[in-house]
Amino acid sequence: MDAAFFTAWMTRTALGVAAARDELTRLDAAIGDADHGTNLDRGFTAVREALATPPATPREVLTTAGTTLIRKVGGASGPLYGTALRQMAARLPATAEVTLADLADALTAGADGVRRLGGAAEGDKTMVDALAPAARALAAAAGSGATTEEALDAALRAAEEGARATIPLQARKGRASYLGERSVGHMDPGAASTTLILAALRTACAE
Ligand code: ADP
Ligand code: MG
Ligand code: MG
Protein backbone atom coordinates (compact mmCIF):
# COMPACT_ATOMS: atom_id res chain seq x y z
CA MET A 1 0.00 0.00 0.00
CA ASP A 2 1.49 3.29 -1.15
CA ALA A 3 0.70 7.02 -0.91
CA ALA A 4 -1.73 6.74 -3.83
CA PHE A 5 -3.69 4.08 -1.93
CA PHE A 6 -3.92 6.25 1.20
CA THR A 7 -4.87 9.29 -0.90
CA ALA A 8 -7.60 7.17 -2.55
CA TRP A 9 -8.83 6.24 0.94
CA MET A 10 -9.17 9.91 1.88
CA THR A 11 -10.82 10.79 -1.46
CA ARG A 12 -13.31 7.92 -1.09
CA THR A 13 -14.01 9.06 2.47
CA ALA A 14 -14.73 12.59 1.23
CA LEU A 15 -17.15 11.24 -1.39
CA GLY A 16 -18.83 8.92 1.12
CA VAL A 17 -19.19 11.68 3.71
CA ALA A 18 -20.62 14.08 1.11
CA ALA A 19 -23.17 11.47 0.03
CA ALA A 20 -24.13 10.69 3.66
CA ARG A 21 -23.94 14.27 4.92
CA ASP A 22 -27.68 14.69 5.52
CA GLU A 23 -28.01 11.25 7.11
CA LEU A 24 -25.12 11.97 9.52
CA THR A 25 -26.63 15.32 10.38
CA ARG A 26 -30.02 13.68 10.94
CA LEU A 27 -28.42 11.21 13.40
CA ASP A 28 -26.73 14.14 15.17
CA ALA A 29 -30.04 16.07 15.24
CA ALA A 30 -31.55 13.23 17.28
CA ILE A 31 -28.92 13.18 20.04
CA GLY A 32 -26.59 16.15 19.41
CA ASP A 33 -26.56 19.51 17.63
CA ALA A 34 -27.25 18.51 14.01
CA ASP A 35 -23.84 19.34 12.57
CA HIS A 36 -21.92 16.06 12.24
CA GLY A 37 -22.54 15.74 8.49
CA THR A 38 -21.63 19.34 7.72
CA ASN A 39 -18.61 19.20 10.05
CA LEU A 40 -17.15 16.15 8.31
CA ASP A 41 -18.10 17.31 4.81
CA ARG A 42 -16.26 20.59 5.40
CA GLY A 43 -13.29 18.73 6.90
CA PHE A 44 -12.88 16.06 4.23
CA THR A 45 -13.43 18.56 1.39
CA ALA A 46 -10.45 20.44 2.84
CA VAL A 47 -8.52 17.15 3.10
CA ARG A 48 -9.05 16.51 -0.62
CA GLU A 49 -7.76 19.99 -1.41
CA ALA A 50 -4.74 19.49 0.85
CA LEU A 51 -3.92 16.21 -0.93
CA ALA A 52 -4.23 17.69 -4.44
CA THR A 53 -0.43 17.71 -4.56
CA PRO A 54 0.24 14.02 -3.82
CA PRO A 55 2.54 13.34 -0.85
CA ALA A 56 5.34 10.77 -1.26
CA THR A 57 4.53 8.41 1.61
CA PRO A 58 1.46 6.97 3.38
CA ARG A 59 2.70 8.65 6.53
CA GLU A 60 2.65 12.09 4.90
CA VAL A 61 -0.84 11.51 3.48
CA LEU A 62 -2.28 10.74 6.92
CA THR A 63 -0.36 13.52 8.69
CA THR A 64 -1.67 16.07 6.18
CA ALA A 65 -5.22 14.72 6.39
CA GLY A 66 -5.22 14.63 10.21
CA THR A 67 -3.77 18.11 10.57
CA THR A 68 -6.33 19.46 8.09
CA LEU A 69 -9.26 17.94 10.02
CA ILE A 70 -8.01 19.43 13.29
CA ARG A 71 -7.72 22.86 11.64
CA LYS A 72 -11.00 22.85 9.72
CA VAL A 73 -13.54 21.10 11.93
CA GLY A 74 -14.81 22.96 14.96
CA GLY A 75 -16.80 20.08 16.45
CA ALA A 76 -15.51 17.26 18.63
CA SER A 77 -15.15 14.94 15.65
CA GLY A 78 -12.44 17.06 13.96
CA PRO A 79 -9.80 16.80 16.70
CA LEU A 80 -10.79 13.17 17.35
CA TYR A 81 -10.53 11.96 13.74
CA GLY A 82 -7.57 14.28 13.16
CA THR A 83 -5.78 12.70 16.11
CA ALA A 84 -6.67 9.21 14.89
CA LEU A 85 -5.08 9.89 11.49
CA ARG A 86 -2.02 11.60 12.99
CA GLN A 87 -1.47 8.73 15.42
CA MET A 88 -1.83 6.27 12.54
CA ALA A 89 0.79 8.26 10.60
CA ALA A 90 3.17 8.26 13.55
CA ARG A 91 2.94 4.48 13.81
CA LEU A 92 3.54 3.81 10.09
CA PRO A 93 7.09 3.32 8.80
CA ALA A 94 8.27 6.38 6.81
CA THR A 95 8.58 4.26 3.67
CA ALA A 96 6.93 4.55 0.23
CA GLU A 97 5.03 1.30 0.82
CA VAL A 98 3.56 -0.22 3.97
CA THR A 99 2.18 -3.70 4.67
CA LEU A 100 -1.20 -4.89 5.90
CA ALA A 101 0.40 -5.59 9.30
CA ASP A 102 1.67 -1.97 9.39
CA LEU A 103 -1.84 -0.72 8.59
CA ALA A 104 -3.33 -2.88 11.35
CA ASP A 105 -0.79 -1.58 13.90
CA ALA A 106 -1.52 1.97 12.76
CA LEU A 107 -5.30 1.60 13.09
CA THR A 108 -4.81 0.26 16.61
CA ALA A 109 -2.69 3.32 17.42
CA GLY A 110 -5.39 5.56 15.90
CA ALA A 111 -8.11 4.00 18.04
CA ASP A 112 -5.90 4.33 21.14
CA GLY A 113 -5.34 8.01 20.29
CA VAL A 114 -9.08 8.68 20.13
CA ARG A 115 -9.64 6.88 23.44
CA ARG A 116 -6.90 8.91 25.10
CA LEU A 117 -8.04 12.28 23.74
CA GLY A 118 -11.77 11.76 24.30
CA GLY A 119 -11.59 9.67 27.45
CA ALA A 120 -14.29 7.36 26.07
CA ALA A 121 -14.30 3.60 26.62
CA GLU A 122 -16.18 1.11 24.46
CA GLY A 123 -19.85 1.16 25.41
CA ASP A 124 -19.93 4.94 26.01
CA LYS A 125 -21.80 5.34 22.68
CA THR A 126 -19.13 7.14 20.63
CA MET A 127 -17.03 6.55 17.52
CA VAL A 128 -14.81 4.34 19.76
CA ASP A 129 -17.59 1.71 19.66
CA ALA A 130 -16.98 1.26 15.90
CA LEU A 131 -13.28 2.12 15.70
CA ALA A 132 -11.91 -0.14 18.44
CA PRO A 133 -13.58 -3.37 17.19
CA ALA A 134 -12.55 -2.49 13.61
CA ALA A 135 -8.91 -2.16 14.71
CA ARG A 136 -9.11 -5.47 16.58
CA ALA A 137 -10.67 -7.25 13.59
CA LEU A 138 -8.04 -5.85 11.22
CA ALA A 139 -5.20 -6.93 13.51
CA ALA A 140 -6.69 -10.41 13.94
CA ALA A 141 -7.18 -10.87 10.20
CA ALA A 142 -3.71 -9.51 9.35
CA GLY A 143 -2.20 -11.86 11.94
CA SER A 144 -3.97 -14.90 10.54
CA GLY A 145 -2.74 -14.53 6.97
CA ALA A 146 -5.89 -13.04 5.45
CA THR A 147 -5.63 -11.10 2.20
CA THR A 148 -5.89 -7.31 2.38
CA GLU A 149 -9.42 -7.50 0.95
CA GLU A 150 -10.51 -10.09 3.53
CA ALA A 151 -8.93 -8.12 6.38
CA LEU A 152 -10.59 -4.86 5.34
CA ASP A 153 -13.94 -6.66 4.93
CA ALA A 154 -13.58 -7.97 8.49
CA ALA A 155 -12.73 -4.49 9.79
CA LEU A 156 -15.74 -2.99 8.00
CA ARG A 157 -18.10 -5.66 9.36
CA ALA A 158 -16.80 -5.06 12.89
CA ALA A 159 -17.34 -1.31 12.53
CA GLU A 160 -20.89 -1.85 11.23
CA GLU A 161 -21.72 -4.16 14.12
CA GLY A 162 -20.18 -1.74 16.61
CA ALA A 163 -22.18 1.16 15.19
CA ARG A 164 -25.44 -0.82 15.27
CA ALA A 165 -24.72 -1.80 18.86
CA THR A 166 -24.67 1.88 19.90
CA ILE A 167 -28.44 2.19 19.24
CA PRO A 168 -29.67 0.79 22.60
CA LEU A 169 -26.87 2.42 24.61
CA GLN A 170 -27.09 5.53 26.77
CA ALA A 171 -24.34 8.03 25.89
CA ARG A 172 -21.68 8.69 28.52
CA LYS A 173 -19.41 11.02 26.48
CA GLY A 174 -19.87 13.99 24.18
CA ARG A 175 -22.99 16.11 23.65
CA ALA A 176 -25.31 13.10 23.50
CA SER A 177 -24.49 12.39 27.17
CA TYR A 178 -26.35 15.60 28.14
CA LEU A 179 -29.57 13.84 27.06
CA GLY A 180 -29.22 11.02 29.58
CA GLU A 181 -31.79 8.29 28.89
CA ARG A 182 -33.15 10.19 25.88
CA SER A 183 -29.98 9.24 23.97
CA VAL A 184 -31.20 5.61 23.95
CA GLY A 185 -32.67 4.35 20.67
CA HIS A 186 -30.46 6.27 18.20
CA MET A 187 -27.22 5.30 16.47
CA ASP A 188 -24.24 7.42 17.49
CA PRO A 189 -23.37 9.72 14.55
CA GLY A 190 -19.61 9.29 15.05
CA ALA A 191 -19.91 5.50 15.07
CA ALA A 192 -21.88 5.81 11.81
CA SER A 193 -19.19 8.00 10.20
CA THR A 194 -16.45 5.62 11.37
CA THR A 195 -18.24 2.89 9.41
CA LEU A 196 -18.19 5.14 6.34
CA ILE A 197 -14.44 5.72 6.75
CA LEU A 198 -13.81 1.95 6.97
CA ALA A 199 -16.05 1.38 3.93
CA ALA A 200 -13.94 3.92 2.02
CA LEU A 201 -10.80 2.02 3.01
CA ARG A 202 -12.31 -1.19 1.62
CA THR A 203 -13.31 0.60 -1.59
CA ALA A 204 -9.85 2.15 -2.03
CA CYS A 205 -8.42 -1.36 -1.83
CA ALA A 206 -10.66 -2.54 -4.68
CA GLU A 207 -9.53 0.28 -6.99
P1 ADP B 1 -19.97 18.04 18.23
O2 ADP B 1 -20.50 17.01 19.19
O3 ADP B 1 -18.93 18.91 18.83
O4 ADP B 1 -21.07 18.79 17.54
P5 ADP B 1 -19.73 16.28 15.94
O6 ADP B 1 -21.22 16.35 15.87
O7 ADP B 1 -19.00 16.54 14.67
O8 ADP B 1 -19.17 17.22 17.08
O9 ADP B 1 -19.30 14.82 16.42
C10 ADP B 1 -20.04 14.11 17.37
C11 ADP B 1 -19.45 12.72 17.53
O12 ADP B 1 -18.16 12.80 18.12
C13 ADP B 1 -20.24 11.83 18.46
O14 ADP B 1 -21.29 11.17 17.76
C15 ADP B 1 -19.21 10.86 19.00
O16 ADP B 1 -19.07 9.71 18.18
C17 ADP B 1 -17.93 11.67 18.92
N18 ADP B 1 -17.50 12.10 20.24
C19 ADP B 1 -17.91 13.16 20.95
N20 ADP B 1 -17.27 13.23 22.13
C21 ADP B 1 -16.43 12.16 22.18
C22 ADP B 1 -15.46 11.66 23.12
N23 ADP B 1 -15.24 12.30 24.28
N24 ADP B 1 -14.78 10.54 22.81
C25 ADP B 1 -14.98 9.91 21.64
N26 ADP B 1 -15.86 10.34 20.70
C27 ADP B 1 -16.57 11.43 20.97
MG1 MG C 1 -22.59 17.69 16.53
MG1 MG D 1 -21.24 20.87 17.13
pLDDT digits (tens, 9 = 90+) for 87-145: 999 999 999 999 999 999 999 999 999 999 999 999 999 999 999 999 999 999 999 99
CA of 15 to the centre of ligand 3 (A): 21
Mutate to test the pocket of ligand 1, among 31, 33, 36, 194 (most ligand atoms within 8 A of CB): 36
- Residue 206 confidence class, pLDDT cut points 50, 70, 90: confident
Residue from 80, 115, 122, 170 to probe ligand 1 pocket by mutation (most atoms less than 8 Å from CB)? 80
Pocket test for ligand 1, best of 127, 179, 183, 186 (most atoms within 8 A of CB): 127
How far CA 191 is from CA of 2, 4, 27, 64, 187, in Å, comes to 27, 26, 10, 23, 7
**CA of 34, nearest ligand number:** 2
Residue 12's pLDDT is: 98
Is the overall model pTM greater than 0.95, yes or no? yes
CA distance 69 to 74: 9
Ligand 2 centre to CA of 35 (Å) is: 4
Ligand 1 pocket (Cβ < 6 Å) reads: 28, 32-33, 35-36, 39, 75-77, 80, 114, 118-120, 126-128, 173-175, 188-191
Euclidean distance between CA atoms 25 and 36, whole angstroms:
5
Is 90 exceeded by the pLDDT of residue 207? no
Respond yes or no on whether ipTM tops 0.85.
yes
Domain count of the fold of the chain: 1
Helix or strand (DSSP H, E) at 172? none
Q: How far is CA 38 from the centre of its chain?
A: 16
Query: Cα-Cα-Cα-Cα dihedral of 39, 130, 95, 60, to 10°?
Result: 10
* For ligand 1, atom 4: residue with the closest CA: 75
Instruction: Using the atom order of ligand 1, give the atom closest to the CA of residue 75.
Output: 3
Average pLDDT in the 78-84 region?
A: 98
What's the rounded Cα separation, in Å, for the pair 121 and 116?
9
Q: For residue 87, what are the domain limits?
A: 3-206
Which CATH number belongs to the domain containing residue 183 in this structure? 1.25.40.340
